[in-house]
Copies of this chain bind each other. A is one copy, B any other.
Amino acid sequence: MQPSKVSRDSREKLLGHKGAVVWLTGFSGAGKSTVGFALEQTLMSHGVLAFALDGDNVRHGLCGDLGFSPADRSENIRRVGEVAALLADAGTVVVACFISPYQQDRDRARLAAGDHRFFEVFLDTPMSVCEERDPKGLYVKARAGTVKDFTGVSSPYERPVSPALTLHTDAETVGESVERIVGFLRDRAIISEG
Q: List chain A positions with a Cβ less than 8 A from chain B.
A: 1-6, 10-11, 14-15, 33-34, 37-38, 40-41, 44, 47, 49-53, 56-58, 61-62, 65, 75, 79, 82-83, 85-87, 89-92, 112, 135-136
Bound together, the chains give a CA A51 to CA B92 distance in angstroms of 11
- Of chain B, the residue at the smallest CB distance from A45 is B10
- Of chain B, the residue at the smallest CB distance from A41 is B5
Contacts A/B (CB < 8 Å), 25 sampled: A1-B135, A2-B33, A2-B34, A2-B37, A3-B56, A5-B38, A5-B41, A6-B37, A6-B40, A6-B41, A10-B44, A14-B44, A14-B47, A15-B49, A49-B90, A51-B90, A58-B86, A61-B112, A62-B79, A65-B75, A83-B86, A87-B87, A87-B90, A90-B92, A91-B92
Counting chain B CB atoms within 10 Å of each CB, which of A1, A44, A49, A50 scores highest?
A1
- Of chain B, the residue at the smallest CB distance from A50 is B6
**Cβ–Cβ < 8 Å partners of A112 in chain B:** 61
Bound together, the chains give a CA A51 to CA B87 distance in angstroms of 9
Q: Are A91 and B49 in contact (CB under 8 A)?
A: yes
10 additional A-B pairs beyond A1-B33, A5-B38, A57-B89, beta carbons within 8 Å, are A4-B52, A14-B44, A49-B49, A49-B91, A51-B86, A58-B82, A58-B86, A62-B86, A87-B87, A91-B92
Bound together, the chains give a CA A89 to CA B87 distance in angstroms of 11
Bound together, the chains give a CA A61 to CA B135 distance in angstroms of 34
CB distance from A99 to the nearest CB of B (A): 12
CB distance from A59 to the nearest CB of B (A): 11
Bound together, the chains give a CA A51 to CA B86 distance in angstroms of 9
Q: Are B11 and A49 in contact (CB under 8 A)?
A: yes
Q: Are B61 and A82 in contact (CB under 8 A)?
A: yes
**Cβ–Cβ < 8 Å partners of A5 in chain B:** 37-38, 40-41
Counting chain B CB atoms within 10 Å of each CB, which of A56, A58, A79 scores highest?
A79
